[in-house]
Chains A and B, each alone.
Chain A
Amino acid sequence: MSAVVTEADCPVDPTPSNGPREGAFGNAVALACRECGHQVALGPFYACPECFGPLEVAYELPAITREEIEAGPANIWRYKALLPVPTDIESSPNTEPGFTRLLKADNLGRELGIEKLWVKDDSTNPTNSFKDRVVACALSAARELDAKVFACPSTGNLANAVAAAGARAGIKTVVFIPSNLEQPKQVNSAIFTENLVAVDGNYDDVNKLASEIAGEEEGWAFVNVNVRPYYAEGSKTLGYEIAEQLGWRLPDQIVIPVASGSQLTKVDKAFQELIKLGLVEDKPYRVFGAQAEGCGPVATAYKAGTDAIRPVKPDTIAKSLAIGNPADGIYVLDITRRTDGAVEEVTDDEIRAGIVQLARTEGIFTETAGGTTVAVTKKLVETGVLDPTLETVVINTGHGLKTLDAVSGQVSAAATIAPTYAAFKATGL
């Protein structure tokens, strides 16, 4: 992998003679800067050489029908024509994530006062979080760019997904984590790879190290660094699936957790693409972002009515949302304001209550990010911001078994009794 973008690369040569094979990135034609529009060739690049802005995959989208999509596999590759992957993507071993269930959540809806509520449950992906979607797209890019090492900095879900996808694909993986990460989370990744590297420092330190390694080492694909434009596109499949599972229509309202803000921006991008392609009716929809108070820089900026996002030092149990300097935060503000949505934040206690509420009403054990989304939805209804008469979807990004410590003190046995019928009756159950 070349690590240097030169002026000669710009504007684009989509098929440089020594670059990836033709069709390596499907219908993608270039990487375009979200800030200034500058374009660079498809490659292992993630920051604009002009302004450092984030690069995003640009496409010439094909004409495609609902029937063609529905005839595809029951995973994210049914949308491969809309992703930066080759047409033969299914032939390369991968974890085949996606097409997770969209559950009608009547019990939770009753408790929250929402007439029609759905939960998009991504805890059923191969490694139990939405990260399998983005990692599958990053893995394809890594293969096409001839990467020798598949890597990431992570505090949990991403490390699990990268390690598992690498194992399935037969590519060397190296996963960097903060050395103080809880032992169960280390095991969840170490089971898939022998190259788990614990770094003395916090997540920001690990992220910085990964960026430096990506800039120095040839042949390393860091999923959320130098192949991030391809990786991030995987989150669009959440939006495609929600629309398809609703019968090819967009929801009226959707509530999405916000860490870097990537998922929210990609779900919006997916909805816009479906409208452009004529696959769904063009109708208004409202997008809401959910953050934790202990790391709510986007919510703070939203409430202040400003575009200036002040970085914070995260302090919340929602570790997967603990990005103090969210790279896509400005775009979350744009989208939520454009769609008459909002960005709201909740306390750690509210997050714990959200986890328990979803479990007790719908039988879904969510991680802290999902608890945040449920709690923010509740708060948005109570404050009159979210319209309870409109059809609403909330996204559950991962499984609660990954963050057991968050609620282990909240729930326990109702009673400890002697093994007798009398003792049972005494419980009043």
Chain B
Amino acid sequence: MSVSVRIPTILRTYTGGDSEVKAEGTNLAEVIDDLDARFPGVKGRILDEDGKLRRFVNVYVGNDDVRFQDDLLTPTPDGTEISVIPAVAGGC
């Protein structure tokens, strides 16, 4: 399954400055593994030592936050757009 991944500015040192890259995988975990094969080190920035999404990283498959889906096992159908975004919030 080929997907496109939007890369946040702080990870573009790994992608040669590219803000969007292609990757393969049937779910998010596989996509992140494939990203790491193409851009070594990027997985360690997205996942913590226990292999879970870092607390301050939000990943969207399509328009949906994967924490409300199946987390790293969220399916990534062919053509899916994935966004990796540092957590920010408004309000008080």
Contacts and interface: CB of A to CB of B under 8 A. Distances in A.
Where chain A touches its partner, the secondary structure class is loop
B33 to A, nearest CB: 19
A160 B63 CA distance: 27
Interface string A55-85: 0000000000000000000000000000000
* Interface size, B (range): 20 to 34
A35 B54 CA distance: 11
Interface in A260-293: 260-264
A264 B78 CA distance: 43
Which of B9, B19, B90 has the most CB atoms of chain A within a 10 A radius of its CB?
B90
A154 interface: yes
A208 B9 CA distance: 14
B65 A46 contact: no
Contacts of B91: 259-260, 262, 320-323, 326
Interface in B1-59: 6, 8-10, 12-13, 17, 19, 45, 54-58
Nearest to A373: B92
A152 to B, nearest CB: 8
B17 A4 contact: yes
A310 to B, nearest CB: 8
Interface stretch (A103-111, A181-189, A209-217): A209-217
Interface string A302-322: 000000000101000000111
Interface stretch (A13-21, A92-100, A199-207, A406-414): A199-207
Interface string A363-374: 000000100000
A313 B68 contact: yes
A327 B92 contact: no
Contacts, number: 120
A261 B92 CA distance: 6
Interface in A205-259: 205, 207-208, 211-212, 215-216, 224-225, 228, 256-259
Given A4-B9, A53-B56, A215-B8, A225 B17 contact: no
A262 B92 CA distance: 6
A211 B56 contact: no
Given A259-B89, A311-B68, A327 B12 contact: no
Contacts of A155: 90
Interface residues of A, number: 57
A5 interface: yes
B88 A207 contact: yes
Contact of A35 (B56, B60, B85): B56
Contacts of B85: 208, 211-212
Given A311-B65, A327-B56, A264 B92 contact: yes
Contacts of A375: none
A5 B92 contact: no
A374 to B, nearest CB: 14
A203 B63 CA distance: 12
Interface of B: 6, 8-10, 12-13, 17, 19, 45, 54-58, 60, 63, 65, 67-68, 83, 85-92
12 contacts: A4-B9, A35-B56, A45-B10, A48-B56, A211-B86, A224-B89, A259-B91, A311-B68, A323-B90, A323-B91, A325-B65, A327-B56
The 4 A-B pairs at the shortest CB distance, nearest first, are namely: A259-B91, A47-B86, A260-B89, A52-B56
Interface of A: 3-7, 35, 45-54, 130, 152-155, 158, 201, 203-205, 207-208, 211-212, 215-216, 224-225, 228, 256-264, 311, 313, 320-323, 325-328, 330, 369, 397
